[in-house]
Amino acid sequence: MGLAIINTILFALDIYVFIVIGAVIFSWLYAFNVVNTSNRFVGLLGEFFYKATEPLLRPIRRVLPDLGGIDISPIVLFIGIYFLRQVIVNVFAPAVL
């Protein structure tokens, strides 16, 4: 049962990585005015990405220095998620087995 919980947590982390990638791509499309911002679906999608990623990206942005127009907080978040995955796989999974 413990291994099922660990696999579920790892799967949730994988899904969150895809959500962050989607948010990054959406922000680029929004910044370059590729998407129609008055479209209701686009607005809902942007709101979802914002609400799903901002709670983890905001503290990272506060700590990082200002790099002008470049936002590297998603990269730092990816590194943190990768570290968390490695801790789960290498520390907790062997303890469950």
Which pLDDT belongs to residue 92? 93
- 26-73 residue pLDDT tens: 999 999 999 998 999 999 999 999 999 999 999 999 999 988 889 999
Taking 80 as the threshold, does the pLDDT of residue 97 lie above it?
Answer: no
Q: How far apart are CA 69 and CA 43, in angstroms?
A: 23
Which pLDDT belongs to residue 66? 87
Residue 68: phi and psi, rounded to 5, are 80, -125
CA 93 from chain centre, in angstroms, equals 23
Helix extents (H) in the chain:
2-31, 40-63, 73-87, 93-96
Threshold 0.85, pTM exceeds? yes
The amino acid that residue 82 corresponds to is Y
The three-state secondary structure class of 66 is coil
Residue 65: phi and psi, rounded to 5, are -70, 160
96 band by pLDDT with thresholds 50, 70 and 90:
confident
- What is the residue extent of each domain of the chain? 2-91
